Amino acid sequence: DGGITQSPKYLFRKEGQNVTLSCEQNLNHDAMYWYRQDPGQGLRLIYYSQIVNDFQKGDIAEGYSVSREKKESFPLTVTSAQKNPTAFYLCASSSDTANTGELFFGEGSRLTVL
């Protein structure tokens, strides 16, 4: 079945450590996204990528980094520079430029900083 796979589902990190969240899709979608969700909050865009080897900052990119070396993969690194990284991280993709708001989401990764 086509879809988006995020791993790990749960991750605990000590302060000062970098962590990388994986996102893989087999939907053949060009665009991929990373969102962050805090309790009782809407989704906030971290980074997005329209095509391979290109990505753009979203509203809250500070403290995060991404790469897009393959169409299927869009990993997110949460660096030690991110001051409040505990959150629910959602990877998404969209199929075409006409309907960029029609997103398919992975199951998410919950990061907790101890």
Strand partners, 89: 36, 109
> Nearest 5°: CA angle at 42, between 106 and 80?
70
Name the residue among 25, 34, 21, 102 with its Cα closest to residue 71.
25
Q: Does 96 bind other proteins (CB under 8 A)?
A: no
Strand partners, 94: 31
Q: Can you tell me which of 74, 108, 111, 113 binds other proteins, judged by CB under 8 A?
A: 108
Q: If binding means CB under 8 A, how many residues of this protein chain bind other proteins?
A: 27
Smaller CB distance to other proteins: residue 48 or 64?
48
Give the H/E segment covering residue 85: none
Q: Does 2 bind other proteins (CB under 8 A)?
A: no
Mask 46-65, x = binds other proteins (CB under 8 A)?
Answer: --x-x-----x-xx------
Smaller CB distance to other proteins: residue 14 or 97?
97
